[in-house]
Amino acid sequence: MNKINHRARKQRGRTAGFSLVEITLVVFVMSVLAAITVPNVMLTVSNVKLRGTAADLAGLPPTYISCGALDLFADENMQYARRLVAAGVPTELHIYPGAFHGYEFAAQARVSIASEGERRVALARAFGISLGAEVNA
């Protein structure tokens, strides 16, 4: 039976698994759909004005923002970070070159690993936790 499955895959001109291009395309499409659908649903359901659009951002807690340079919301993230800094809110902004919206879903990608490490360090710093030498890789 195993030989039959192997032949069927070869006949279709495919090997087991998906190519990096296919995975990237699926993640990108899912990210775009989520980015369009989720915020609209949340705004409709909650009907609450978001704090990020408020005129006064003073008093917000320290903020960590990270996104890919190719993210559809990169400009908005940078704008929001500037407004937070102007309001005196301690703000940390990380922009990852070449990364698109949802890049973290490609967990084994170098950019995702770097982003996760920096996020953990920022959270540890915010909560006064020592992560030890294993995180500094």
Question: Amino acid identity of 58?
Answer: A
Please check whether residue 9 lies inside any domain of the structure: no
Please check whether residue 10 lies inside any domain of the structure: no
CATH number of the domain to which 64 belongs: 3.40.50.1820
Please check whether residue 35 lies inside any domain of the structure: yes
Please check whether residue 88 lies inside any domain of the structure: yes
Round to whole Å and give the CA distance between 105 and 24.
Answer: 10
Give the pLDDT of the chain (137 residues) as one tens digit per residue. Answer: 555 555 544 555 544 566 777 777 777 667 666 665 555 544 444 444 455 567 788 888 888 999 999 999 999 999 999 999 999 999 999 999 999 998 888 888 899 899 999 988 988 888 888 877 554 44
Number of structural domains found in the chain: 1
Helix (H, G, I), strand (E, B) or coil at 99: coil
Please check whether residue 7 lies inside any domain of the structure: no
Domain range spanning residue 55? 19-136
- Provide the whole-model pTM: 0.56
Please check whether residue 23 lies inside any domain of the structure: yes
Please check whether residue 105 lies inside any domain of the structure: yes
